[in-house]
Amino acid sequence: MMFARQRPVALAGLMGLVGIALGMILAPASAAACSFIFPPWYTVTTTIQAPPLPPGVTLVEVPEDPPGIGAKKLRISNTSATPLYIIAALATGNTDFEPIDHQFPDSRGPVGKVVDGVASRWAAPWYTGQDQWTWEQKGPAATLYVTDERITADDGIVARFANNTGPDRPAGAPPPAPERLVVPLVYGTTLITIPMTVTYSLNPDYDPTVGIEGCGKEEGAMLMLGLAIGTAALAAIALGWLIRRMVKRRKRRIHGR
């Protein structure tokens, strides 16, 4: 008799746990798949005209790995004892940088440093466990990532391109005119600018027929299913809690409590 009374509670709890598990699997997986669905309007080609660099400083262009991800890398190393700083704006909006001899507009500052063959990034306290922003070593060289939308260095944004994503590219829209950008570096007290030319062409893989928030139809359906299962799971757990309270109240009435 007791088992029969507890069966709805156990069943509701089991349904809730299964639903949460399925929701946790389906929703994040589909959201992760969807986050890369929106193609850029244009294909970006970047050409670097690196000037003569100080002794010990090298700038090497690394091919896409794996190919086709729409990003290439620029690897910067420095074996000299003079610090080489990479200048960018932090995505967090932080403006508390290590002081250097050069000041930059738009809340920019040194987000990367390479010296004596060791690269470091300007890291937030929640990354390092320290009380303030500080340098965190990360390897022998710093890496700049060049995508179809911007140039980044760790958590910093070096430059943005005149590119767009989304399902509303105007039909026959001409690509933007070529851009000329610079990647700013500071070597000790010397400002070094790396000129870069950015050219645009229509992206042949652009597909405006995408689903919800950048998802294809299958990914969008999976995301909605995951969210629905998660919601149903919470409802099942709430139902189980209510049933359990009702059973307890009934037992108290029967026993005169």
pLDDT in tens, 177-199: 998 988 999 999 999 999 999 88
Same domain, 195 and 249: no
What predicted TM-score, i.e. pTM, was given to this entire model?
0.64
Span 98-123, pLDDT tens digits:
888 888 877 899 999 999 999 999 98
**To 10 degrees, the CA torsion angle through 228, 234, 236, 239?**
-140
Same domain, 159 and 84: yes
Same domain, 156 and 58: yes
Q: Do the domain assignments include residue 97?
A: yes
Same domain, 176 and 221: no
Domain of 227, in residue numbers: 2-35+212-254
DSSP 197: E
Same domain, 180 and 72: yes
* DSSP H stretches of helix in the chain: 2-34, 125-128, 217-254
Same domain, 175 and 239: no
Mean pLDDT of 211-238: 59
Q: Count of domains in the chain?
A: 2
Q: Please, which contacts does 65-70 make with residues 24 or more away whose CB atoms are closer than 8 Å?
A: 70/40, 70/147, 70/148
Same domain, 115 and 172: yes
**E strand spans, the chain:** 42-48, 57-62, 72-78, 84-90, 108-115, 118-123, 134-139, 142-146, 150-153, 156-160, 179-187, 190-202
8 A C-beta contact, residue 21 and residue 246: no
